[in-house]
Amino acid sequence: MKQTVIDSKYWHGVVMILLILTLVSCFEDESLNEKEKEVDEPTSALDVYIDEHFTDEYNIAVRYKYVDNYVEPGQNVAPPKLEMVRPMLDFVDDYWIAPYLAVENGEDFFRRYVPAELIFLGGLIYNGDGTVTLGTADAGARITYTNVNGYDLSDPEWLKLQLQVTYHEFAHIIHQEFKLPSGFENISPEGYSSAGSWYNLTDEEALQRGFVSPYATSSANEDFAEMVAFYVFDADFFANYIDQDTGCVTAQCELDNAGKKKILEKLTSIKDHYLKVTGIDLDELRAELQSRL
């Protein structure tokens, strides 16, 4: 299972002091794995619901039992509480599946490229380096959600975390299948860090380099996926990452503005690429998701 990390402006103060919020890295292997879907016979009302609404409908297997099979050796994670599984399924349906099905060409794309498995874990995964795994993906075949037991749609941090996991991981399908937009890596080439040093950056330092998060600096692929996720789920995306400060009186402000210009260039490139290779208008997808939040 490969690791992906997610970082955003939403987690500040004490939370950021206590830990670096990370996801497990995504896609060192850029090939798409066609994972065979193993489907258990439904044995309860919940299993019947999953079978009918996810497995039969979208060919998605949902795993909420035997979590040791879906984490790295030495990692201990509790399964989700049974009463949290159905609400999490509703989250996936309402905030991921439904928005794609509602936009032009979205349903065809979703049904073709949806991962084979969704894994639900009850809590976070604490790593030996002090980071915390918030969610994982495996080469387009699986998405793992952590902290399902913390389900709370009224908690903006929980909601934005799960949205970011969802849209970040699904965005990797695009560059795996269709490559990155032409010239994307050259928009802010000097700003990239590395998988082992990105977490030393602050949010503002990343912004000034032309990135929406420190993790986005770790590679062009992660930059792409972070851009897509932030654009779709963040209601304040334009205020945070695009709008220029016309009253700059400090060098810091000028650096922020320069970084935002690079982010706007990336966003334009990404939206054009999505429309060209998938027929999906990211503005429509963003509007559809935002209407549900």
What's the pLDDT band for 43 if we cut at 50, 70, 90? confident
What's the pLDDT band for 60 if we cut at 50, 70, 90? very high
Residue 26: pLDDT over 90: no
Residue 13: pLDDT over 60: no
What's the pLDDT band for 42 if we cut at 50, 70, 90? low
Question: What per-residue confidence (pLDDT) applies to 133?
Answer: 73
Question: What per-residue confidence (pLDDT) applies to 283?
Answer: 98
pLDDT tens figures, 201-252: 999 999 999 999 999 999 999 999 999 999 999 999 999 999 999 999 999 9
Instruction: 176-182: list long-range contacts, CB under 8 Å, 24+ apart.
Output: 176/27, 176/30, 176/31, 176/32, 176/139, 176/140, 177/32, 177/113, 177/277, 178/273, 178/277, 178/278, 180/220, 180/221, 180/224, 180/273, 181/224, 181/269, 181/270, 181/272, 181/273, 182/269
What's the pLDDT band for 38 if we cut at 50, 70, 90? low
Residue 25: pLDDT over 60: no
Residue 65: pLDDT over 70: yes
CB of 180 closer than 8 Å to CB of 35: no
Average pLDDT over every residue of 156-180? 93
Average pLDDT over every residue of 69-89? 87
Q: Which of 1-5, 191-195, 263-267 has the least mean pLDDT?
A: 1-5
Residue 68: pLDDT over 90: no
More confident residue, 218 or 22: 218
